[in-house]
Structure 1
Amino acid sequence: MEDSSLDPMSVFRPPIVRSAGAALDRSLFTKRIPIAAARVLDVKNVSKYRAQLEKSKDLLKLDRLANVRPDPDASLASKGGKCLLLKPEVKSGVPTTWSPILQEAVKADELGVVDYDLVLDYNYWNYYDIITSILPEDAQEEIPVGFAVVGHVAHLNLREDYLPYKHLIAEIIADKNAAVRTVINKIDDVGTHSEYRTFSYEVLVGEDDMNVEIREGDCTFKFDYSKVYWNSRLQTEHKRLVDSFKPGEVVCDVMAGVGPFACPAGKKGVFVWANDLNPDSYASLKDAITRNKLTNFVRPFNADGHAFIRFAADDLLSLTSDNLNTITLPPKPRSRHAPASTRMPPPQTITIPPTISHYVMNLPASAISFLPAFAGLYDGNEKLFEPYAQRKLPMVHVHCFSTKSDDNVRETREICERIGVELGCVMNPGDGDGEVLVREVRDVAPKKRMFCASFRLPSEVAYRKRA
């Protein structure tokens, strides 16, 4: 029996069901709670008294719980009778526990205060409620609440302490997330299983079906999650960078994956040279380009990233020299409401710029080591850029891992030093030309953080003689 003398609302907590690794018994979570209810004698007054009893603090207010219910008397309920659930401090036979508003309404014969058996069951409580009721108290220091959802797959990364409860945790997650059909647990680090940033996993609930479909950045992606890299927690980072690209610019996405940067950028009229070494990612990238009607803007490649950095710049220049740097877009369909005499607009011709505006390098474990490939990127093409032309050298956005601290000062300095070593020049923190702006992206472990370092490619690197 729960002691509600200190906290009357504690009666609405789920039953404690400690079971170390046992099967989930949902029936154990059914709980009958005796409370009081205000019988509304004329259903036309339900809204009126709901508002008044909420103001007087008589009304029961719980997340996910409707406090307007059928009357507990079955005969009255069959005629449409309603009642309002009252908080546990209000007792049906003790008028001194009623507010003046409730007392006046009863005296006016518009409300009656009656007993009500409130039944809460497994379906009512959320994941956190259920899991804290099941796990032993000594295992609740850091409840496993974080998981990624990729299409219909929920992806766990459980600490060793919680492995004895992994099936319970997975079942509850599947129960409480309608879109989830399969729950998996990662059993090694990303990249351990394959150079393509995939990982080994075990299926805890559902079928081993990793073919998922998701929407992000107004684009649809379909892929086999077991064969490609995808991280739903990077959605904000994807949007942040894509928002910084301008229509008509060229972006080189060196480690494009299935296209979470490339396809949304293409949607806004950015030209993207998108590459990934993984053949499965490349296949899914091509599918996303076709599926989202981006063939005019996003070009897929399956090559080594080191070589692709220079190839993309050279390939773009070759289009200009061969007069292949224009594309013709079909006219937009005429509005249904436009007069029949309205002429179709002419096709639109767009010229692809000869130089790249941004490089994206989202391979945080090793992307900085790819930076030597920028040496000599535009060797012999200095007159394409300032001060000879109104173009700037590309911005480079390189993702990386470092330690974590409250202010990131130590990490920023360390990242700048690593970038400088790879480029062969001094790179200092800052947001001006010749400086590196380091942004925090997300924490990936208790002592590990992901960053994005953005800088304009130094001229001394870009115009260096190619080796």
Structure 2
Amino acid sequence: MEPKLYRLPLEVRGMTSLDKEAFTQTITVPALRVPTGVLNKVVKSLKKSTIQRPGVPRVVQDKEESSDFRLVLLDPHSVSSLSSFSEAEALRSFGVAEELHYYELRLTYDNLKSEEVLEAVLPQGQDVTSAFSRVGHIAHMNLRDHQLPYKNLIGQVIMDKNPGVTCVVNKMNIIDSTYRNFKMEVLAGEENMVAKVKENGMTYEFDFSRVYWNPRLSTEHQRVVQLIKRGDTVFDVFAGVGPFAIPAARLGASVLANDLNPESYRWLQHNCKLNKVESKVRSFNLDGRAFIQGPLKQELPALLKGKASVHVVMNLPALALEFLDAFRGLLHQEPPTDENLPTVHCYGFSKDNDPDTDVVKRASCSLGFPLEDRCSVHFVRNVAPNKDMMCVRFTLPKEVLYCRGDEHTEPSEEPAPKRQKCEETTYSSL
């Protein structure tokens, strides 16, 4: 007897409002009748062949209700007959009869994986996604146009199948606003956008609908923070809610953190208190260029005379490279004898075939100074097909930072045509 493989009922195709009962059906699965004395050993040896389905037991009561035997349920997709059963020799050693039994198994919506439900519901031949980013209790999805008619069903399935998720949202447009947030639509669950997350040992709270947070950047946050030592100073130009600033302060660095978004600024201050680093972080609510030419400029001369390192973090990959021109001629006095020039970590997106060269070229253009052979480039992540996020790290050249007399006009006047071309290249890469 061939086992009836599990196939979802045809009537669920095209469903837009979730009807859990419609997914219920009974299937026939192969089973082995195993003496209870060797049950644990047999189950362990059969772990690749037993049925693996949410909420379905692998061991059930023997049909004959004998206390001396149990039925071990097998995966019907991999075991259809004794000839396809690779563990036959192991079974003989345990005294298990080489005979397949069959068990009527009732499967419900609760026993299905999210991918199975969505594949059964959405039109055949179209992409099915159950992928999402987890931000505390919020599951954040990027649905495609053909999935939108099923958005509420998709949201409900994602919430049902992922413990702890109580809200599912869909991003409605790209992140292109001044404050780096995006409009979201709640697909399922509560409309509570205040999330609490842990990253690299720190705790953050924020309104996910009003600030920028990307859970895929935790490794990058850690990588940069590990370059910072106790006593260093960090200028975080686009700080968000603090994923660079707070762990740097926890390590003992002095941090000046800035963000233009008033909500990010508020949650940054909240998270500094939450992680008990408020005494090590000074927060600002300024435009990035104003922060560089204000607080950073004021603090830098004294810091350059010290021995501790200075780091400038610029994590606004859509625009940060363009802000590098704010460093041109920032300081007007003679360079100190013992220079301690800042290390800049600047992020950018690139769609170029050679993203390393592309971001270095654009950074050089904004600075008005060639960075080739004077910087390192780190690949952060692939954001979309043919779109990479990169980090350019370099020591801020003194030729850029210091300007005297007629030198001050050279970067802003002479390279103007080249800079315009660079800006065009930058925007085409976003």
TM-score of the alignment, normalized to the shorter chain, above 0.5: yes
Q: 1:217 to 1:381 in 2, by over 3 A?
A: farther
d(CA) in 2 for partners of 1:236 and 1:16?
Answer: 44
Structure 1 distance, partners of 2:81, 2:400, is: 79
* Structural mapping, 1:46-85, within 5 Å: 46-53=39-46, 59-62=49-52, 68-73=58-63, 75-76=65-66, 82-85=70-73
Helix, strand or coil at the partner of 1:312: helix
**Displacement of 1:82 after TM fit?**
3.2
The farther-off stretch of 110-119 and 442-451 is 110-119
Q: CA deviation at 1:195?
A: 0.9
> 1:438-466: per-residue Cα shift (whole Å, max 9, x none)?
22222233342222111111110122246
- 1:385-409 Cα deviation digits (max 9, x unpaired): xxx43x531111111122054xxx2
- From 451, 459, 462, the equivalent of 2:398 is 459
Structure 2: runs of 5 or more not aligned = 410-430
Matched, 1:290 2:265: no
Q: What letter is aligned with 2:29?
A: I
2:114 paired with 1:127 = yes
Equivalent of 1:372 in 325, 349, 358: 325
- CA 1:249 to 1:72, structure 2 compared with 1: closer, same or farther past 3 Å? same
Distance across 2 between alignment mates of 1:129 and 1:278: 41
- Separation in structure 2 between the aligned mates of residue 188 and residue 53 of structure 1, nearest angstrom: 48
Q: Which residue of 1 aligns with 2:13?
A: 19
Q: Among residues 22, 31, 34, which one is paired with 2:28 in the alignment?
A: 34
What is the rounded CA distance, in whole Å, between the counterparts of 2:173 and 2:45 in structure 1?
A: 57
Distance 1:116 1:18, change over 3 A: closer
Kindly provide the amino acid, as one letter, of the partner of residue 299 in structure 2: L
User: Residues 289-438 of structure 1: matches in 2 within 5 Å?
Assistant: 289-316=272-299, 357-380=310-333, 382-383=335-336, 388-389=337-338, 392-405=340-353, 409=354, 411-428=355-372, 430=373, 435-438=374-377
* Separation of aligned partners in 2, 1:86 and 1:175: 26
Contact 2:58-2:74 within 8 A present in 1 as well: no
SS in structure 2 of the partner of residue 123 of structure 1: helix
Kept in 1, the 8 Å contact 2:195–2:207? The answer is yes
1:175 maps to 160
Contact 1:152–1:179, Cα closer than 8 Å, also in 2: yes
Distance 1:53 1:156 in 2: 37
Between the aligned partners of 1:103 and 1:33, the Cα distance in structure 2 is 28
The alignment of Structure 1 onto Structure 2 pairs a total of residues equal to: 404
Q: 1:359, CA displacement in angstroms? A: 0.6
Q: Could you say if the C-alpha distance between residues 246 and 34 of structure 1 is closer, same or farther in structure 2, counting changes exceeding 3 Å?
A: same
- Whether 1:99 and 2:88 are equivalent positions in the alignment is yes
Q: Tell me the percent identity.
A: 37
RMSD between aligned residues: 3.3
State TM-score, norm by structure 2: 0.83
Does residue 154 of structure 1 match 2:139?
A: yes
CA distance in 2, matches of 1:370, 1:98: 64
SS at match of 1:119: strand
Q: Residues 215-274 of structure 1, C-alpha deviation per residue, up to 9 Å, x if partnerless?
A: 112111111112111111222221221122222211110010110111111122222111
